[in-house]
Structure 1
Amino acid sequence: MDAGGPKRPHVGPRVHAREYNYVLCISDEELAVLEKYREQLITGTGSFAEIFYNYLFDNPDIADVLYAFEREGGDVGQFARAELSNILTSVVAGIDRQREQHLLDAGRRHMQHNFRPVWLIGAYNLLIDYLHGMLPGLEINTNDRPVLDRLLTRLLLREMGIMLEGYWLQVHSEEGRELEHIAGRLGQVEELLAGLPHLVWSVDVNANKVMYANYPLQMLYQEGMSSPLPCLGDTHTDDRQLLQDCWQQAVSGKRACVDVRMRLAGDSEHWYRVSLYPEARSSRKPGRVHCMLEDVQSEVSEREQLQTLSTTDRLTGLPNRATWADHLAMALAASRRAPGSQMVVMSVDINQFKMYNDTLGRDAGDILLTDVAARLRSIVRESDSLARMGGDRFGILMHPVINARDAAERITTEIMDKFDIPFAYQEKQLCVSLTLGIACFPGDGNSGDGLLANAESAMQRAKRNSLPYQYFDPVNDVSSAQQLHYSGQIRSALDNNEFELLYQPQVTLETSRITGAEALLRWEHPVEGTVMPQRIIPVAEQLGMIAPITDWVLVTALRQCRQWSFSGTAIPVSVNVSARSFQNPRLLEKIKWALREASMDGDQLVIEITEATLMQDIDRARDLLSSLSDVGVTIAIDDFGTGYSSLSYLKRLPINTLKIDQSFVLDVAFDQQDIAIVRSIIDLGHNLGYKVVAEGVENRMTLDVLGKLGCDMAQGFHISEPLPDEHISSLLERPGSLI
């Protein structure tokens, strides 16, 4: 391998003046002849100055150098006079060490100031011509004339030669200094390469041989490097072809780089980056390829860690939302390729998480999330995808399944059973329950976003109703897309008077006369027509518009109630209060304001609240209902029997009416279980001193059964569909019973 640095050129011994005398055959006898005519020669060369100066300044190249010398601060006149003196002195002066050094220094100066050697030769040539032309006019002995003629030429050659040697010495001195500088820089580069953590080598492509290797590489392969890729044998077998392909690309003249696995000097396997830089040449094939090998294990590890962080939830180790969405997209694609394939999408929420996180601290919350994730992981199949969607929300994808409903029921039951077991935390037992929303493919959506949105919508409905899980219901659930669709329009619906109230009469089963009416909200959309409340209320709650809508419903219903009283028949009006409205701390104030605004007493208003809404905060419910009762407002529990009420609380609430959910009423004429449930609710209500209203009465047989069971009141399409206010006024004015 080459040494890696330039070699300083050899500079031969300097030629002394006596050597010139010997070579040019200058004898002492000839010098004695010169001495006889010294004074004449000095006098005769006086007029050469004009010839010399013209030579300097008439030559444009010489003039440019002189002007550059002047711009750098030099004195051109002094320089010209000194050079003239040197030339003329050479004719008559003797030669000694001092004179010789003077001529050498003059030659060095010429070189330093870019005064070319050919210009010096030209000046001496002028002087030779001048001297030969001058000699015939001098008084010289006939025998001495040919001696002097030859001697003057040889003396000028000697003087010129010594000055040219000064040129030569200056060139080699500068070159030597430059080579020393280059050698020093190369030494620094070599020291730098030796200290690099990278392995560096250079390959002669034609010889297929490593010509240079830095110290770390030499130490690694002390036995020699027979291959242009010394590390090929240490490369993982699966990566060797990649490295060889990279080399072929480099020898074809293209830069190449590849990351491969290697095990060097018995170390553990690491990732290394091999970078190959072909030497730039005019021909296509490079003469050399410079190579570098660097350890990139930390970079690869960081990249893998970033990849993991981008796809995995750090806390639980589960896939994150983005990764889960990818799994869902792939499952959908597979299902579309397999007709009849089904899948289940679940949105899972921890009901008690906020309470535990706020009271026990974030560390406890993190541990709870990790434990919940582990328990869910133990339930789902290996083919299923479980992910943390963010916060206390998880997602479950079941694919493939033969029957989505059956699969959802199975896993839901297993989840409920597993989560009946409390979690242990610092000698505490934490009871945790989940709420699940379920969407099935293909029935509940055709896209991943749609299925997830529908599952989340079902989960929110389950939470509102205090149920453990709910399947997506297009009638009762508003998807995210629908929320977005209505979000810009619902705000202006109030201002544009697009909302209206219909009223469904309630009758007593004993007299069949109207005893009340339930106000039902409708949105007369200018494009879509009538929009039902189950599509209005969830969007309004999400947008923060439920409060002004509730205010409008209260005032409008009470004002209509006042109009009915003017006809001579006063009946109370029922208004549904949503879960979000019930949580409004100003609800009591709003109801009192609506009563004042409509000039109505509280006994003409019935507030309907679902069982699930009451149970969300039983203490607040008791206080609010007591305050409403104090102003005469009647309280009715809507959809009774579908939630999880506690009778111990129920009996202490100031409730007046129970409304049996229509799911128990629809088949009560045929289903013995429904009969038993309805009878139990009626008996419970009467025992607690409540009136009982049956919703969803669709036929005469149902009405008859309810009458026999002792139900107090009923409403439904068999009695009357929801009607505009003026139709209710007509019914109130009609004599006799409604049914």
Structure 2
Amino acid sequence: MKDLVRTLSASTESRIAAPRLTLSVFQPSTFNPTVLAAAGLAIAALLAAGHSLVQVSGGTQFSHTYAMILPVLLAGYFFSIAGGMAVGALAGLFLGPWMPLDVAGSVLQSMEVWSARLGWFVGLGGVIGGLMAVARWHKAVRDHGVLVDEVSGLLTPDAHRLMDQPSEKPYVVAVDFGLYDRLRETYGQETAARYVRAVAGYLAEAVQASTAPLNTRSTRIQGDVFGFLLPNDPDALPRTIDAVLGHLPHWVSLDEPYSDQSIARADAAEPIVLPVTAHMGIAQAHMAAFTSFDTFRDGIRAARLARESHQPIVHYDSGSLPVARETMQISAELLQGVERGELFLVYQPKLRFADDSVYGAEALLRWQSPRRGLVPPGRFIPMAEQSSLINVLTGWVLDQAGEAMRHWHADGRQFHLSINVSGRDLLDSRIMTQLRQMPNRVGVEATAFSLELTETAFIENLETITSRLSELRDIGYDILVDDFGTGCSSFAYLHRLPVHGVKIDRSFISAIRTDETAAHLVGSMIDWCRRMGKRTIAEGVEDHDTADLLKEMGCDAIQGYWLAKPMNGDDLLPWMDRRSDGGSV
């Protein structure tokens, strides 16, 4: 079985398409060479012993010729059809024309007799060998399904039960690409499977290239989560991990060689291009649990934490188990908090340079937990985005923000409000219905609302999200790309998206006064967006000089602590009145 694992591994990692198993009359044996050598010696000894027994007993007229059946049976069992027939022929020849019918009387056998015996032995060896070949083929098919993943062509976690265990605890590395579930929901199972096969091919190549000559085997664990084992060498570990990450591409096209070209696509004229973002979890294997999924359990936990915290690499810490349980507890408390009225909105104003006016604000969600106090949004929103809990939060925000706009507009305030939505929200039929109905429900035109969506949502569900946003844009909503510049697709996809503007991420804005490269990059973004007819809003502006520099660059609007911190709805309009009376920035 270990040899089968090695054979399948070599085959699948040299070409990612899963190997096909075929039945052959020379079906290879699964015994190791030592056993086969011992069996060969035993068969040779039995042939010699059988020949001697017949001769000593007086010739082939006695029943001792059946002693030759045993080596023929063993040959068929150990060496399949070819081996069984070859030894059968030897057994027939050993008792052939040179073996007398009666040794004492020197009576020879007739040709018909010894030829029939020869044919019988050859046939017996072939039948036994054939039965064993069929049995091995069925076992190989069964083991192939258990040991080789049909989608990726890589080994399964179960294969590690049959591998030689390292002498020391190896490092377990789990790699989570994080797109499988969303691709399956958006494009369907076939596209998700093509993505898995594509990234599996690149990962297998990256692992082999980075760990040569160790011949490290890659494994598909679940979805688009993969794994591999590395020797217990803390000094070499960082170099190996960096090398693996360096070999992975930033993008993968499902028309590239590792994709499954046999699957028909309705969008064949438009290749699907997806990001490759690997989140790695590293742990040390528990030798006592060196079986199937458990081998990679701690690595998977660390990889999941890396994805949720937006880090490339996380080392497993047994102390993270309580943290994971705490995260689940927070999710339950947050859901209860929606029902108990623990959530509230704050609003951060936006300044438009063209007329030096505060034209609107962004609605930001806050959670005042009776147990935890004021919970930072970075603690609970990314967690909620991993599940349908984000739909519950967004639905609540839309209700509250809509009511706030109803009151402000009833007071004669022509105010613009931005609301954050996630890609998962736009895939939810209830949220889409809520967005379609909100302008009529609150009596405020859709043009008074902006919907902010991060780049990641576009990349992962491009066709569906684009279609939904086109519908919302036609209703009248203003569409903005949030955190612009942090994703791989910014300039590649912006011209194709139904958006009115972008919000340049604070990580770029905070550095433009001290970093010439950052300033040049932000200036290029602003200039490129202007050429495309898209507005630009700078996030995270915290001082007057940064605001002036952005105005010189041609940025349309800003948002940040320099203008105002987020504030309650009751404080927003009085603040705007005081600022209007007190002059401009």
2:226 matches 1:394: yes
Distance 1:705 1:604, change over 3 A: same
Give the structure 1 partner of residue 278 of structure 2: 436
Q: What is the alpha-carbon distance in structure 1 between the residues aligned to residue 551 and residue 196 of structure 2?
A: 55
Alignment of 1:324-473 (within 5 A): 345-348=174-177, 375=205, 378-381=208-211, 382=214, 384=216, 386-399=218-231, 400-402=233-235, 406-416=239-249, 422-423=257-258, 434-439=276-281, 449=297, 451-459=299-307, 470-471=312-313
Q: Is the 8 A contact 1:387 1:395 kept in 2?
A: yes
User: Deviation digits for residues 289-311 of structure 1, max 9, x if unmatched?
Assistant: xxxxxxxx99x999x98996798
Give the structure 2 partner of residue 507 of structure 1: 351
1:402 partner letter: D
Give the structure 2 partner of residue 657 of structure 1: 501
Q: Is the 8 A contact 1:347 1:456 kept in 2?
A: yes
Q: Displacement, 1:460?
A: 7.1
Q: Displacement, 1:411?
A: 1.2
Q: What is the alpha-carbon distance in structure 1 between the residues aligned to residue 380 and residue 553 of structure 2?
A: 36
Residue 312 (structure 1) aligned to one of 147, 152, 155 = 147
1:378 partner letter: Q
Distance 1:459 1:432, change over 3 A: farther
User: Deviation digits for residues 563-585 of structure 1, max 9, x if unmatched?
Assistant: 44466544211101111002224
Give the structure 2 partner of residue 247 of structure 1: none
Q: Is the 8 A contact 1:519 1:573 kept in 2?
A: yes
Q: Displacement, 1:651?
A: 4.0
TM, length-normalised to structure 2 = 0.60
User: Deviation digits for residues 389-409 of structure 1, max 9, x if unmatched?
Assistant: 034432244453537665433
Q: Displacement, 1:495?
A: 0.8
Structure 1 range deviating more: 498-507 or 659-668: 498-507
Q: What is the alpha-carbon distance in structure 2 between the residues aligned to residue 666 and residue 711 of structure 1?
A: 15
Q: What is the alpha-carbon distance in structure 1 between the residues aligned to residue 258 and residue 373 of structure 2?
A: 51
Q: What is the alpha-carbon distance in structure 1 between the residues aligned to residue 535 and residue 234 of structure 2?
A: 48
Give the structure 2 partner of residue 198 of structure 1: none
Aligned residue for 2:424, secondary structure, equals helix
Q: Displacement, 1:675?
A: 0.8
Q: What is the alpha-carbon distance in structure 2 between the residues aligned to residue 485 and residue 331 of structure 1?
A: 39
Q: Is the 8 A contact 1:344 1:438 kept in 2?
A: yes
Q: What is the alpha-carbon distance in structure 2 between the residues aligned to residue 448 and residue 620 of structure 1?
A: 34
Give the structure 2 partner of residue 683 of structure 1: 527
Q: What is the alpha-carbon distance in structure 2 between the residues aligned to residue 702 and residue 432 of structure 1?
A: 36
Q: Is the 8 A contact 2:202 2:248 kept in 1?
A: no
1:581 partner letter: D
Q: Is the 8 A contact 2:306 2:312 kept in 1?
A: yes
1:389 partner letter: I
Alignment of 1:238-257 (within 5 A): none
2:481 matches 1:637: yes
Give the structure 2 partner of residue 522 of structure 1: 366
Distance 1:566 1:353, change over 3 A: closer
Q: Is the 8 A contact 1:567 1:729 kept in 2?
A: no
2:209 partner letter: I
Q: What is the alpha-carbon distance in structure 2 between the residues aligned to residue 625 and residue 418 of structure 1?
A: 24
Aligned residue for 2:392, secondary structure, equals helix
Relative contact order (C-alpha < 8 Å, sep 6+): which is higher? 2
Distance 1:690 1:494, change over 3 A: same
Sequence identity of aligned pairs in percent? 24
Q: What is the alpha-carbon distance in structure 2 between the residues aligned to residue 366 and residue 652 of structure 1?
A: 26
Q: Displacement, 1:606?
A: 1.2
Q: Is the 8 A contact 1:435 1:459 kept in 2?
A: no
Q: What is the alpha-carbon distance in structure 2 between the residues aligned to residue 709 and residue 623 of structure 1?
A: 33
Q: What is the alpha-carbon distance in structure 2 between the residues aligned to residue 654 and residue 731 of structure 1?
A: 33
Q: Is the 8 A contact 2:175 2:227 kept in 1?
A: yes
2:546 matches 1:736: no
Distance 1:448 1:696, change over 3 A: farther
Q: Displacement, 1:669?
A: 0.5
2:563 partner letter: I
Q: What is the alpha-carbon distance in structure 1 between the residues aligned to residue 223 and residue 572 of structure 2?
A: 49
Q: Is the 8 A contact 2:402 2:442 kept in 1?
A: yes
User: Deviation digits for residues 715-739 of structure 1, max 9, x if unmatched?
Assistant: 1223322222223233123122575
Distance 1:413 1:606, change over 3 A: same
Q: Is the 8 A contact 2:423 2:465 kept in 1?
A: no
Alignment of 1:492-641 (within 5 A): 492-509=336-353, 513-565=357-409, 569-641=413-485
Q: What is the alpha-carbon distance in structure 2 between the residues aligned to residue 317 and residue 621 of structure 1?
A: 31
Q: What is the alpha-carbon distance in structure 1 between the residues aligned to residue 199 and residue 519 of structure 2?
A: 44
2:333 matches 1:489: yes
Q: Displacement, 1:607?
A: 0.8
Q: What is the alpha-carbon distance in structure 2 between the residues aligned to residue 390 and residue 306 of structure 1?
A: 21
Q: What is the alpha-carbon distance in structure 2 between the residues aligned to residue 360 and residue 694 of structure 1?
A: 36
Q: What is the alpha-carbon distance in structure 2 between the residues aligned to residue 418 and residue 645 of structure 1?
A: 10
Give the structure 2 partner of residue 674 of structure 1: 518
Structure 1 range deviating more: 411-420 or 716-725: 411-420
Give the structure 2 partner of residue 706 of structure 1: 550
Q: What is the alpha-carbon distance in structure 1 between the residues aligned to residue 195 and residue 523 of structure 2?
A: 45
Aligned residue for 1:698, secondary structure, equals coil
Q: Is the 8 A contact 1:506 1:518 kept in 2?
A: yes
Distance 1:495 1:424, change over 3 A: closer
1:724 partner letter: N
Q: Displacement, 1:332?
A: 10
2:301 partner letter: A
Q: Displacement, 1:685?
A: 2.5
- List alignment gaps of at least 5 residues for structure 1: 1-215, 224-263, 272-296, 336-342, 463-468
TM, length-normalised to structure 1 = 0.49
Q: Is the 8 A contact 2:147 2:156 kept in 1?
A: yes
Q: What is the alpha-carbon distance in structure 1 between the residues aligned to residue 304 and residue 162 of structure 2?
A: 18
Q: Displacement, 1:372?
A: 6.1
Q: Displacement, 1:699?
A: 2.9
Give the structure 2 partner of residue 717 of structure 1: 561
1:715 partner letter: Q
Alignment of 1:165-176 (within 5 A): none
Alignment of 1:112-151 (within 5 A): none
Q: Is the 8 A contact 1:625 1:654 kept in 2?
A: yes
Aligned residue for 2:278, secondary structure, equals strand
Give the structure 2 partner of residue 250 of structure 1: none
Q: Is the 8 A contact 1:384 1:396 kept in 2?
A: yes
